[in-house]
Amino acid sequence: MVSRQHALIIAFLAFPMISAFNPIPANSFSCGRTLLRAEPETATKFDLEAYLLDKKGPIEEALKASVNSIEPQTDKICESMLYSLMAGGKRIRPVLCLASAEMFGGTAEQAMPTAVALEMIHTMSLIHDDLPSMDNDDLRRGKPTNHVVYGEEVAILAGDALLSESFKHAALYTKNVDPERVLDVIVRLGKSVGPKGLAGGQVMDLECEGKSPDEVTLDDLKWIHVHKTATLLQVAVASGAILGGATPEEVKACEKFALNIGLAFQVADDILDVTASTEDLGKTAGKDEDTDKTTYPKLMGLDGAKAEAKRLIEEAKASLEPFGERAAPLLAIADYIIDRKN
């Protein structure tokens, strides 16, 4: 049975406006399709609901303001871009970026342009993933996918435009940060999309479709998801740290944390594709099996995949131990990643 508190946090992550919540421990989420539960590691309670509520409004406002049509000829492409950019979602990447920046004394204002850029890149990847030539999905976040509404041609171009705007946005609007740090962030954003990022991971994912477990190893699957999913989450946390003033050693600790939660995020996605309904997911359930994709449950079994997700989260959280209570938001988000239902 879905608890009232978990229902509230799911509703909050899906919609920009919602009333305040009662505080709950970061590890106490429950739902009818719980993947697994992280054991409490500290007596300190962090109110993740209140934290997300505090971040959600400014993130949504910044995203909405980031795409504007300045002449009639650009109305359709901008409308298509905003359709997917403002379609809801958990905004995990922007929140991770802001939380990481603040952990090192940075501000939301310093990190918000990069947070927006990250969500633009993520949205581009979703638009392109849904195309008939890729996953051929008609539903995303409970709504018709971009190509269903605007046509395949416009959807491709909307994704391209979001990608180009992401770099411009981070470069143009980041203020009060050392230019060398801003340049570092932009380079990382670019790498996250290329052959050692989203594009490379997606190609490898396509090549492994239809292959038997004997033909695809766990190392192959890890390579796919490090590059297809974990890299952008890694850039989100590392970029926030860089913008907040972290040292190179501190950035490396953040990267290790984010790499593991990125992999855990994908393991959780694979599990949900097997266990959750289309209504819960907001996208077509069972697509991985239908397309004969290589997934963690396929290679490890459902119980093995759950155990792997838990292991990754525990290892991720250990990376942030040197930062103590300052890491509380990131630790709570790590727990949420494997206890979510969509």
What whole-number distance in Å separates Cα of residue 304 and Cα of residue 274? 14
Whether this model's pTM surpasses 0.95: no
CB 288 within 8 A of CB 262: no
d(CA 51, CA 87): 21
How confident is the model at residue 3, as a pLDDT? Answer: 47
pLDDT in the model for residue 285: 58
pLDDT of 27 reads 34
CA distance 311 to 39: 11
The confidence score (pLDDT) of residue 29 equals 33
Domains in the chain, please, with CATH?
4-337 (1.10.600.10)
In three-state form (DSSP H/G/I as H, E/B as E, the rest C), the secondary structure along 82-145 is HHHHCCCCCCHHHHHHHHHHHHCCCCHHHHHHHHHHHHHHHHHHHHHHCCCCCCCCCEECCEEC
Query: Which long-range CB contacts under 8 A does 186-192 form with residues at least 24 apart?
Result: 188/235, 188/238, 188/239, 189/114, 189/117, 189/118, 189/121, 189/235, 189/239, 191/231, 191/235, 192/121, 192/231, 192/232, 192/234, 192/235
Q: Are 305 and 271 in contact (CB under 8 A)?
A: yes
Largest Cα–Cα separation, the chain: 57
Q: Which two tokens stand for residue 95?
A: 């929140």
For residue 4, what pLDDT is reported? 44
pLDDT of residue 1: 44
Which residues, given as ranges, of the chain have pLDDT below 50? 1-43
- Return the beta strands (E) in 106-265 as ranges: 139-140, 143-144
| pLDDT for res 97 | 98
Q: Distance between CA 146 and CA 115 in Å, rounded?
A: 22
Beta-bridge mates of residue 140:
143
